[in-house]
Amino acid sequence: MFGPFCALFINQAAAAGFHPKEWHTIEWGASFASTLASKGVSTENITSDVFWTPSFPSNNAGTSTFLQLMSNANQLAKAANSSGNVAAVNWYNYQNIELRMIIFQMITQAVSMIPSANFSTPQQENAALNNALHVLNMQTISGPLQILAPGYGTIGLAAVQWQHGDIQTVYPKNVANATYAHP
């Protein structure tokens, strides 16, 4: 299930008396968890897959920049609210931010590899970027990334699960901060 549809579907299922042991979504719940909670529907054991979690090694390339961006966003959010009581901006209440950071890292790395490329036409720009992306072998906030010949990358997903009102990383073992709850 995807984003806002999750809240509607899970609420309707709960109202109809359907309470499965686990929901698996393609988003980790930031966009719908508060809606479920406001309706008295549990978020426990909702699982998903993500490209980055706070339990990833802090020495991964770009992590300090990413965390600084989140801190700056949090300060701006607080400044924009006259009471200053805005909830912190973090990885799970801004959808897909970790994926956008990886894409940003890919693009900046690819462009830095081709400073003398001819970008005079869209076709030349696309070809230069495509060629650069396919020779990348770089570190990102999620670990090493290489674009393979078919066009997909080598970064794997991490499994997360809502447990006791918070999102926990449950797989892979080297970044897990909790054990998967078998409902």
> pLDDT, tens digit, for every residue of 114-142?
877 777 888 888 888 888 888 888 899 99
Note the pLDDT tens digit of each residue in 165-177.
888 999 999 999 9
Distance CA 134, CA 165 (A): 41
Work out the average pLDDT over 64-87: 77
DSSP state of 155: P
Q: Work out the percent of the chain whose per-residue pLDDT is above 70.
A: 87
| Contact status, residue 144 vs residue 138, Cβ threshold 8 Å | yes
Using one digit for the tens of pLDDT, what is the confidence trace for 2-48? 767 888 888 899 999 998 888 888 766 666 777 788 888 888 878 88
pTM above 0.85, yes or no: no
Statement: residue 112 has pLDDT above 80: yes
What are residue 166's DSSP bridge partners? Answer: 163
What is the distance between the alpha carbons of residues 72 and 95, in angstroms, rounded to a whole number?
Answer: 17
Residue 1, token pair as written in the block: 């299930």
